[in-house]
Copies of this chain bind each other. A is one copy, B any other.
Amino acid sequence: MFENSDRTELAALGEFGLIDHLAHHFPSKSGSTFLGIGDDAAIIKLGTKHLAISTDMMVEGVHFDLTYTPLKHLGYKAVTSNLSDICAMNGIPTQITVSVAFSNRFSLEAIEELYEGIRLACEKYEIDLIGGDTSTSRSGLVISVTAVGEVSPKKITKRSGAKPGDLLVLSGDIGGAYMGLQILEREKRVFLEHKQMQPDLEPYDYIVGRQLKPEARLDIVKILEELDIVPTSMMDVSDGVASELHHLGKASGVGFEVYEEKIPLDQQTLDTALTFNLNPSIAALNGGEDYELLFTMDQKHYDKLKNHLDFSVIGHATESVGKYLLNTRAGNSFDIKAQGWNHLTENK
């Protein structure tokens, strides 16, 4: 009973475009909303306390492929990917809600596997599952998680706040989740063609684990606290460092220079990229789902981090607004494009 005479295809806008397009119709009205749409998490102010809140939806066939994703891992990842957003605000996750829709091809045992992964994540991160919803769907599995956490008002770290000269720092290593996905997709193709062949994923255990069972870097939030470092801006790496750099730069009004030799890569990531004939650095910058933390900080903190194995200083913020440069090992320099993972246009 409704009609749309004009029709604009959503793919033309892209996911970030759509969110921007919709968000400006929603000005903030509630007195307790400290920070609304547009960061890794929103912030609610309640008395003297601040609460970070973030939500994500994972859809079968778009965000995951059950051919190679164990349901227990999927449940774990659905939680940790949301906790990562709370960490990206410099917060400590405390609770989650989980809603799940599934078709009748899922048995009770399958749903229990999914919730066992959710339970393991709750146990590891010491958070509570406080609510949710279960429902049937007509086709695939859909999981929606909302994460809540506490953040000290003095430590709230937004995407805006980076200043020219600030150091650009990355936790852990990147590109692993993306290369793990390439391996899983390759083995799936092999399996579909030759059903008797069993994939041997052991040589790729690290990167496959990065894809299937990522962790939220709550440990980094705690280390930053111990080192007395409050980042000037921060994001988690869900869409890829290249894309996140554009977000940080746009929100903060700065540019960035990144040094290729400083990009932290695991040996398996490096080897696998070469197997697939990919430039490891470019693959790592564009690959998503590592759930590492990317942040900027004042140069004065450099000595605290320089020998710390969990951190890599990969570049710095500049005054060249909108410029994102990669300085290569070979001494060249070129633009970092925000490819990101666009779930509105991709068609896996």
B-contacting residues of A (Cβ < 8 Å)? 1-2, 4, 6-13, 15, 18-19, 21-22, 25-26, 28-30, 32-33, 35-37, 41-42, 44, 46-49, 51, 53-57, 59-63, 67-68, 70-72, 94-95, 97, 99-102, 104, 106-113, 115-116, 119, 122, 126-140, 142, 144, 146, 148, 150, 343-344
Contact = CB atoms under 8 A, between A and B. Distances in A.
Given A46-B46, A140-B139, A25 B115 contact: yes
A41 B146 CA distance: 14
B144 A26 contact: no
B6 A134 contact: no
Contacts of A30: 94-95, 126-128
Contacts of A133: 55-57, 144
Contact of A18 (B48, B59, B130, B134): B134
Given A8-B109, A138-B140, 10 more contacts: A7-B107, A7-B108, A15-B135, A18-B134, A26-B129, A30-B95, A46-B51, A55-B133, A57-B99, A139-B139
A107 B8 contact: yes
Contacts of A63: 135
A130 B4 contact: no
B142 A6 contact: no
Nearest to A126: B29
B62 A129 contact: no
Contacts of A22: 111-112, 115, 134
A107 B4 contact: yes
Contacts of A97: 42, 53-55, 146
Contact of A132 (B37, B95, B138, B343): B37
Contacts of A12: 108
B95 A136 contact: no
Contacts of A28: 128, 130
A112 B4 CA distance: 11
Contact of A62 (B15, B46, B108, B138): B138
B146 A55 contact: yes
Given A33-B128, A55-B133, A104 B11 contact: yes
4 residue pairs, one from A and one from B, having the closest CB atoms: A42-B130, A144-B144, A8-B108, A57-B99
